Amino acid sequence: MRLTVFGTGYLGAVHAACMADIGHEVVGVDVDEEKIASLAGCRPPFYEPGFQETLVRTLDSGRLRFTTSPAAAAQFGDVHFICVGTPQRTDSFGADLRGVDAVVDALAPHLRPGGLIVGKSTVPVGTACRIARRIRTLRPAADVDVAWNPEFLREGFAVQDTLRPHRLVVGTESSRADLTMRRLYAPILRAGVPFISTDPATAELVKMAANSFLAAKISFINAMAEVCDATGADVMTLAEALGCDPRIGRRFLSPGLGFGGGCLPKDIRALTARAEELGVDQAVSFLHHVDAINTRQRLRTVDLARQLVGGSFSGRHVAVLGAAFKPNSDDVRDSPALDVAARIQRDGAQVWVHDPVAIDNAKNAQPSLEFAADVSQACHGADLVLHLTEWQQYERIDPARLAPVVRTPTVLDARNTLDLELWRSAGWTTRALGRPEAAPHGPAESRPLRSPAPSVGGLSPAGEGPDTAELVAYARSARGL
């Protein structure tokens, strides 16, 4: 089939390359000439494992190309995907749909009869219906269908999630559109991927509902982490015990700094804004609390870091491990790690940030911070090390080799993925959100400055706080189970 993909950002570029990889002829369309030139030259404008190889392969095959001409794309394609961003508006919690509307306005005058427009962008419910009305106004003679096919990509796994998704949700209003989508995804469906056929409104809601549920799950365990801090219980054991319940599950029940990125924060806000427009805002009012708990985790991390350096950041050197909002990505949009680093710097600390791939984007977002090429440089002379993005590289750090590099061997694990017993055995003072305090096994006084390169170390199981069993029962009760 001949497809076009309007918008060649993170979603659109990956979708275009993957659709070409399964055999379709694809044209990617964007108004950004620099981005189009970069993609056409096999230079991805973002980091995503496996994407560059897919891009090179499909460009070389001739099945993928890029253009800045909507008219040429409209004449080429039978199915047109809308994959542009829908960020939060500057004046409200609502989604900014100007990008979506711009694609419709550019595409409609050139549409061939019998075409299909498919939205993949995350939009408020009712958007597909509004777009269909708009197309009928702009191109009344065109027999064009509108469908919605939300994406469920995880950054760091986008290629995998496109080619082997957990499900395909397609909302259509005609059997013709439904059949077209089944033909389009036939190579993926043959692998047994569920195909959920529904109406456009339900398809639009699926994505926002999924993100809101995941956000609520993260904020729930983070709320329990604060209760654990007040009682001496261990949130990691609590999460493990809750996760054994098949009704709950362990995934996304990970206590720590909270969620960020370009999806979860803006999507829960967009859903609350749309619910208010529909007059059902009370039905999703809990999402305001989900959002507030998430923001509170960042403030709690800053407060705990301040305590660990003696009550004031003035004159202190803080090393931050991680700038991306999640590992295996260079995306710093609404990054909790970068937000915490900036807050600490504004409070008077000298902050050095390291990240395996996100440094360039972090520099653009927070140019006043200092950035290090390696972990040793970031930690040299540090009064505190903050672990803020759960890259596997940081889990492999040998704390015994890192200890002589810092001034004071103190680490705050805001992601709860470090082996704190290993760090304590190397003489570090360790803290983590929702976990009991424990004294280091070795000397914890300030160390002389040296700069050996960090190497890898092993992992060991976490301990259990004295009141964790009580918290397990309390948490299950709070979820109404």
3-state secondary structure of 121: coil
Q: What is the 3-state secondary structure (H, E, C) of 150-212?
A: CCCCCCCCHHHHHHCCCCEEEECCCHHHHHHHHHHCHHHHCCCCCEEEECHHHHHHHHHHHHH
Burial 358-396 (b: 16+ CB within 10 A, else e): bbebbbebbeebbbbeebbebbbebbbbbbbbbbebbbe
From the list 154, 161, 289, 280, the residue with the least C-alpha distance to 215 is 289
DSSP state of 455: -
DSSP state of 26: E
CB of 138 closer than 8 Å to CB of 166: no
Q: Going by C-beta distance under 8 Å and a sequence separation of 6 or more, which residues neighbour residue 48? A: 10, 14, 155, 156, 158, 159, 329
Token couple for 208 = 């926002």
> Would you please indicate which residues are annotated as catalytic (active-site) residues?
263
Distance CA 317, CA 349 (A): 6
Give the DSSP letter string of 54-119: HHHHHHHHTSEEEES-HHHHHHH-SEEEE----PBPSSSSSB--HHHHHHHHHHGGGPPTT-EEEE
Distance CA 180, CA 186 (A): 10
Distance CA 163, CA 58 (A): 14
Distance CA 362, CA 333 (A): 9
**Distances 429 to 276, 375, 395, 432, 462 between C-alpha atoms, Å:** 47, 18, 17, 11, 15
From the list 112, 40, 118, 113, the residue with the least C-alpha distance to 84 is 118
**List of E strands, 416-474:** 429-432
From the list 25, 97, 31, the residue with the least C-alpha distance to 62 is 25
Distance CA 247, CA 244 (A): 9
What is the Cα Rg of the chain in Å?
24
CB of 411 closer than 8 Å to CB of 322: no
